[in-house]
A = this chain, B = another copy of it.
Amino acid sequence: MSVKRKAVVLIADGLGDRLAPALGNRTPLEAAATPALDRLAAEGVVGLMDPIKPGVVAGSDTAHLSILGMDPYAVYTGRGPFEAAGIGMEVRGGDVAFRVNFSTVDDDLVVTDRRAGRISSGTDQLARALNGMDLGDGVTAFFKESVAHRGALVLRGQGLGAAVTDVDPHATGEKVWTAVGSDPASEKTARAVNTFVRRSFEVLSAHPINQERIRQGLNPANIALPRGIGVAPDVAPFDEAWHVKSACLVETGLIRGIGIYLAMDIIDVPGANGGLDSDVMATAQAIVDALADHDFVLCNIKGPDVAGHDGQAEAKAKMIERIDSAVAHIYAHIEPDVSLLFTGDHATPCEVGDHTGDPVPVVIWGPSLVPDAVTTFSERAATAGGLGRIRGVDVMPIMTNLMGVQHKFGA
């Protein structure tokens, strides 16, 4: 195709909602004044999007995988691989990865503090003592610290499965559990996990950092407890899969991890803190700037999800108004041939305080669209939209079609 264009996919995390009594039985998006989004709707096409499929309650991670063109049922078994990638660990297809807590246990391996006194320094040295450990069976453990008491573990070896029970009892006063695998590949993983946990207790108990903590009356970080197991999927780098040069501007570590895993260019925006006071105008300008040397930009603004989890409908409407200003800034500063898609990765209704499987409104604005009759942007208005009802996994084919970078399937 001759025409090559750029595109932005802007995701307001947890955007979708339900009728809120506090807002006169309107959704936060309906109650918010959103002139910029309404203009996108009037000039473009709107519809409803099921992040995964109708009714399915999506996580932010599985929804983003879907929106980035993958089948989350095929590539997602747990968040571990993306957490590990997000803190800069190398994760290869077939690796099994975990989030890890440094915790405190007594000599009988009963958990006395799941967060090891919220340890705030020295975990890099503890991590180094665990990294590169040979767990037998040809399995090697790679370990890296994250913030506070957190870290990530990557197991590398042939034929590792992910159907493995937890070792972290998720409660104090309980003994660390023994991992069990439900098939031969997962049994191999379970053996490696149990070995890792036991060895972590031996290594960490003796570590000078913990000897010093005990001297200071602090809980030692004397065990590493993995959870959130996932098999790292074998996926092509995003730019290779979609014939684009992409940038990823996101506020949450997990989505950042997905971007890193897909080898997207990660752009950090100072002031984009993932909260209700996040500097969304800085994010808007960063999107405009990123378009100078990228042709596809993914952005996630976390605020609406935070308000939704807190059940704060008014705060959510206000956050959406702030995002609307950012959209106005983008609209005013991008080239006229850029396509822009705005949606949520899932609904986080204030009445629930958690994700739901409701469809979310979506608007696509840009050249080459046959417009529909909808002139405002909301859950309700989107039901009459010309896009109809699409799925998260449709986003990349639709956008690369508008960009003119997709290869024809057939002749």
Q: A79 with B389: in contact, given A357-B401, A401-B57 (CB under 8 Å)?
A: no
A394 close to B (CB within 8 Å): yes
Q: Is the CB of B1 within 8 A of A354?
A: yes
A65 to chain B minimum Cβ distance, whole angstroms, is 8
- A359 and B352 alpha carbons, distance in the complex (Å): 32
Q: Does A62 contact B (CB under 8 A)?
A: yes
> Contact between B370 and A19 (Cβ–Cβ < 8 Å)?
yes
A contact face: mostly helix, strand, loop, or mixed: loop
A379 contacts which of B356, B370, B384, B411 (Cβ < 8 Å)?
B370
| Cα of A391 to Cα of B72 in the assembled complex, Å | 20
State the CA gap A57–B3 with chains docked (Å).
Answer: 14
Contact of A79 among B372, B394, B411 (CB under 8 A): B411
The CB with the most chain B CB atoms within 10 A, among A371, A397, A407, is that of A397
Cα(A64)–Cα(B98), bound, Å: 40
Among listed A47-55, A170-178, A299-307, interface-contacting one:
A47-55
Asked if A351 lies at the interface with its beta carbon under 8 angstroms from chain B, I say: yes
Given the known interface contacts A386-B383, A398-B54, the answer about A406 and B357 at a Cβ–Cβ threshold of 8 Å is yes
Out of B371, B380, B385, which one reaches A380, CB within 8 Å? Answer: B371
Evaluate whether A372 and B368 lie within 8 angstroms (CB atoms) in the complex, with A62-B410, A401-B358 already known.
Answer: no
Find out whether the CB atom of A411 lies under 8 angstroms from the CB atom of B60.
yes
Q: Cβ of A409 and Cβ of B58 under 8 Å apart? A: yes
Q: How far is the CA of A366 from the CA of B45 in the complex (A)?
A: 29
State the copy count for this chain. Answer: 2
A357 contacts across to B, CB distance below 8 A: 397-398, 401, 406
Report if A373 contacts B (CB, 8 A). Answer: yes
Query: Is the CB of A123 closer than 8 A to any CB of chain B?
Result: no
How many angstroms between the C-alpha atoms of A15 and B249 in the bound complex? 38
Kindly state whether residue A101 has any CB partner on chain B within 8 Å.
Answer: no
> B55 to A399, Cβ gap below 8 A?
yes
A62 to B411, CA, bound (A): 8
Picked from B3, B27, B385, B397, the residue with its CB within 8 Å of the CB of A53 is B397
**A203 interface residue per 8 A CB criterion:** no
Question: With an 8 A cutoff between CB atoms, is A254 at the interface?
Answer: yes
Q: Which of chain B's residues have a CB closer than 8 A to the CB of A385? A: 383
Q: 1/0 per residue A158-180: CB within 8 Å of B?
A: 00000000000000000000000
Q: Is A2 an interface residue (CB 8 A)?
A: yes
Q: Does A232 contact B (CB under 8 A)?
A: no
- Closest Cβ of chain B to A229, distance in Å, is 12
Q: A79 — which chain B residues lie within 8 A by C-beta?
A: 410-411
Nearest CB to that of A408 among chain B residues? B57
Contact B63 A352 (CB under 8 A): no
Residue A349 lies at the interface, judged by CB distance under 8 Å to chain B: yes
Q: Which residues of A contact B (CB under 8 A)?
A: 1-3, 18-19, 27, 45, 48, 52-63, 72, 76, 79, 228, 254, 349, 351-358, 368-373, 379-380, 383-391, 394-401, 404, 406-411
- 25 example contacts (A-B, Cβ-Cβ < 8 A) are as follows A2-B353, A3-B351, A3-B352, A18-B369, A53-B394, A53-B397, A54-B390, A55-B394, A56-B401, A58-B410, A59-B408, A59-B411, A62-B409, A79-B410, A79-B411, A228-B411, A254-B411, A351-B368, A355-B408, A357-B397, A357-B406, A358-B401, A372-B380, A372-B383, A384-B384
10 A-B pairs with the lowest CB-CB distances in the bound complex, closest first: A59-B410, A55-B397, A62-B410, A383-B386, A357-B401, A388-B389, A55-B398, A54-B394, A59-B411, A55-B401
